[in-house]
Structure formats: structure tokens, C-alpha cells
Amino acid sequence: MPDEDWTPPPVLLAVDLVIFTLRESALHVLLIERGVDPFRGSLALPGGFLEHDREDVLAAAHRELREEADLDASRLHLEQLGAYGAPDRDPRGRVVSVAYLAIAPGLPEPLAGTDAARASWTPVTEILAGRAELAFDHRDILDDGLERARSKLESSALATAFCATTFTINELQQVYEAVWGVELDLRNFYRKVQAVNDFIVPVGAERRVGRGRPARLFKAGDRTTLYPPLVRPIPATTTKGNP
Amino acid sequence: MPDEDWTPPPVLLAVDLVIFTLRESALHVLLIERGVDPFRGSLALPGGFLEHDREDVLAAAHRELREEADLDASRLHLEQLGAYGAPDRDPRGRVVSVAYLAIAPGLPEPLAGTDAARASWTPVTEILAGRAELAFDHRDILDDGLERARSKLESSALATAFCATTFTINELQQVYEAVWGVELDLRNFYRKVQAVNDFIVPVGAERRVGRGRPARLFKAGDRTTLYPPLVRPIPATTTKGNP
DNA sequence: TCAAAAGTGTTGTAACTACACCCATGA
DNA sequence: TCATGGGTGTAGTTACAACACTTTTGA
């Protein structure tokens, strides 16, 4: 045990962001190409160090979100994933990172001309398939973020954070299918989401795209927790109680 | 944005532990009485600073578990809750804490004579009722730990971590009742837990206590995730979809 | 032989899966 | 008028809450 006038060793604190969005019905994560060592040229999650001694960690996440992704706090979900503190995770020295999960509605363009033009949306399947290597322990952080998103779709209204202010039920279903990586029966999905009071509320208008019957538009309701939950079929890491 | 030769501000990193156990069918948390300022004399979660520059954060949690609670890593559940990084959470300066949730089987005695004799098991209901104040933001951390434990009982085999190597179904039920703060129908509980393959496996022996039919003894099985989950009745923060 | 604790059976219901079917629109 | 996407109806099944009932023990 440390003695009386011992002082604890300081560490550097970073914030990393797993920012998910839906583009062309597929789950994408925002990655940057690193311009400096270590891992220069590699892909990494956006993030950075705490800026000054009194900066709140959550505030730092919001700041990075603005600087690196040009994303505003409004209409955006942000929650902490956890701290990553292995001693050798950063070759520059002792850096502990607090990771955040952010969910954004599909943006019109991949943010050119901003401070962070080197950022780009990457399909998550690319990384899962091992076709892209990530710097540091960012692959672990991404995996944790994906699992968190998957599990929160079951029991919370998180899915609406992927959508614009108004959306169709089909668009909402595409969120579930992209994040869970499964196909859902659209007819059962329609009733299930509408059966949960205040999950989505009809906005009165309709949207017509090409042929086919126009779809009703909805907006997110007040409900944040879904009960009963929408359980994903055949969860990846679990099997049925009695096989 | 910081310029080229700017260096990030260092912070002090602490580890705090929410250690739950069951004593006399009630959920208890390990608290210490602080011997030094700030908050001298107040109750606080056990924890401490990172000991040296290269210490792994998880390893620090294990070390504190040993030093402050005399608990070994074997037969003990330990998982990270998250980082707590508000700038004013510690009056001594910038301290970011990584909190861990630990679950221990009921210990014989509250650990006298050890390095951490000032530690004592406190009923969680005492703190929830506001009859005990906690130092720093430890009340928030405790709340988060309790919610995590509650939710993990639903979908994982965490409950067995509260029990000794062998246990009766009734003892397991008491875990659920104490953590969730509800009463369960023992007859339905019996079948539900036994229906999940490899959640608990019979060990052959029985236990007899006073009068009444002896109970079969079980041990924890290999299964870690429960599917379908054991959902808690009337979750505190949620209501039914259609009221 | 009775109280107490352990454990089983049964019934009604909620919520789901699977799939047949109907509706509204543009080409 | 037909292909296309939006939406409803219904039957069989699973999981579960509620509660009556049987079993095994100590006093």
C-alpha cells in the first residue's frame, strides 16, 4: 500500500467516439485516417485528448463530435461505453480512453470542407469482415459499441435516433435489420412497433416514392424504454434454453 | 483546436468498487468509513488511485478488491460500470474514476483484522432510503451499479455469483428478490430456472434445515446468457405498451 | 399426524411467428 | 391493369402468471 506522502501517477485522458449512422440501408461508422504517428495512415475512431484541466469528459465527447464530425448535440444520441485502460494500448505513453457511442440520422453528404475532411463513413460489415484494420484497441471499442447498440434496440427507443424527424415504419425496420444484421417480417414489425404506446406517433402526412401505396409518416414519441422488448431473433451469442 | 506542440493535461485516475453481496436475504454493499479528508468520516465506496504508471485499470480493481475487501479474484464476478469524469467530483483536483461492479457470495464475517477493517457491509435499502450519505459522486455510482446488477440478472447467469459453490433454488430466488426488490412466486421460479439448460445443474446432494422437505443442491452451469430472459415484474422505470 | 418447506400440474392469457390476404398508387 | 410497396387478418405456438395440489421431512 502507498505510504503517506505518495502521489498517484498522472495519466492522459482521451475520448473516442463510435458514431453510427445508416447510409443506403447499411450500418456505417465514422472513421478518420490518421495524419500523425502512431498508426499514421491507419483508420481510427474519431477522438482526442481532454483539452484542459477542468473539461468535463462528456463535454469533451460533445466537442469532438463537433470538431471531428460536424455534428450538433441536438437530435443526436450520446452515451458512454466505458473506459479502456490497458497500459500498452497507446505507444505514446499512458493514455486511458473513455469511449462514447453516438447515433446520428443519415447525413446528406459525408462532410466535406469541414475541419475533419479526412473523416469518412465506413460500412461496419467491412470492418467485421476484417477488410479494414483499426488503430489502437479501436476494434474492441467498435465491437463493444455495436453490441451496445444491438442490445439497446431491443429495450429502448434508440432506433428512432437513426431516423430523421419524420420517418416511415419501413425506414425504422431498416434500422433494426442493419444493426442486428437480420431480416424481419415487415408485417409483424408494423404491428409490433405500433403496439408499443408512444414509441412512434403518426404525424398525419404521407410520403410517396415512385409507385406503390404511400407510406404514413411517424415521429419519435415520448417513450424511451420498450416493454415488452423487441427481442432480436437468434441472438448471435446465445442459444435457446432447451436446444 | 490545439496547436502542434500542445500537450494534453494529465489527470489522476482512480478505481472505485461497488461490491454487492447477500446477507440475511438482503442486498448489502461494502462501504468504508473515510479516514482522511476530503469527506473524512463519511461513507464511501472502496477504491483508490492507480498505483503506478503501467498498472492496468482492471488489475487495479483486482488489487483494491484484495486490499480493501480481502476478496480473491476466483469465485467472484467483476465488470466495469464506466468512467465518472465530472470536473468537480473530487475537491482535491482532477480525478477521473473508473467504477467496477463486483458480486461476491455471502462472506462468513465482515472481515475483521484485515488491512481494511474500517470496511463494513451496509444494506442497500439504507442508502436508497437516504438514511446514509455517500462521499463524492458515489451515490450515483451505486445507483448505476444497482441498475446494472438488476438488468444483468434478467439476461445472464450473474445471480449464481451471489451464491456459494452449491446452493438451493430457494437461495437463488432470494438473490433475485433482494436485488430486484420484488417477491416472486417460488413455484414458477423453480420451473423457469430449471428450464434454462445449463443455468444450474443438480449436484445430487440435498440440504436439510429444521423441518420441511430437504432441498436439492445445485451448482452454477456453463451457461452465461439466459434466453429467453427472466424479466423482472413491473420494471421500475417502464410501463406496459398499452396501458 | 400436523406444520412446514419442496416441488408438480393445470388453466387461462399475452405475445409472438408464419403466412394468406387486401389496399393504394404510378407506369 | 398490373407491378409495387403499404398495410390487415388469422391460426398455431410459446412463455408465463396464478393458484390448486402432492411430496417429504422434523417435531
What does each of the 243 residues of chain A score in pLDDT, given as a tens digit? Answer: 545 678 889 999 999 999 999 999 999 999 999 888 899 989 999 999 999 989 999 999 999 998 888 888 877 999 999 999 999 999 999 999 999 999 999 875 555 555 555 888 999 999 999 988 999 999 999 999 999 999 999 999 999 999 999 999 999 999 999 999 999 999 999 999 999 999 999 998 888 777 889 999 999 999 999 988 898 886 433 333 332
Closest Cα in chain B, distance from residue A169 (Å): 17
Residue A115 grid cell: 475541419
Task: List helix spans (H) across chain B.
Answer: 57-69, 124-128, 138-155, 169-180, 186-195
Closest Cα in chain B, distance from residue A58 (Å): 8
Burial label for B108, CB within 10 Å (0-12, 13-18, 19+), is exposed
- pTM here is 0.92
Task: List helix spans (H) across A70-137.
Answer: 124-128
CB contact under 8 A, B226 and A241: yes
| Closest of A10, A32, A6, A215 to residue A120, by C-alpha | A32
Closest Cα in chain A, distance from residue B178 (Å): 22
What is the model's pLDDT at position A87? 96
Residue with cell 437463488: B172
B3 confidence band (pLDDT: 50, 70, 90): low
Closest partner residue to A2 (CB to CB) among B51, B86, B96 is: B51
Tell me: cis bond preceding A10? Omega within 30 of 0 counts.
Answer: no
| Strand C bases contacted by the protein (CB, 7 Å) | 3-9, 15-21, 23-27
Name the residue with the least CA to C1' distance from nucleotide D23.
B213
Name the residue with the least CA to C1' distance from nucleotide C8.
B187
Q: Are A136 and A47 in contact (CB under 8 A)?
A: no
Residue A34 grid cell: 490518421
Tell me: cis bond preceding A38? Omega within 30 of 0 counts.
Answer: yes
Residue A40 grid cell: 499514421
Nearest CA in chain B to A115: B1
A185 CA, C20 C1': separation in Å? 14
* Residue A241 amino acid letter: G
pLDDT digits (tens, 9 = 90+) for B52-65: 989 999 999 999 99
CB contact under 8 A, A85 and B57: yes
Contacts for A112 with CB less than 8 Å, ≥ 6 apart: none
β-strands A119-123, A26-33 pairing: antiparallel
Phi/psi at A43 (5° precision):
-85, 145
Contacts for B207 with CB less than 8 Å, ≥ 6 apart: B168, B214, B215, B217
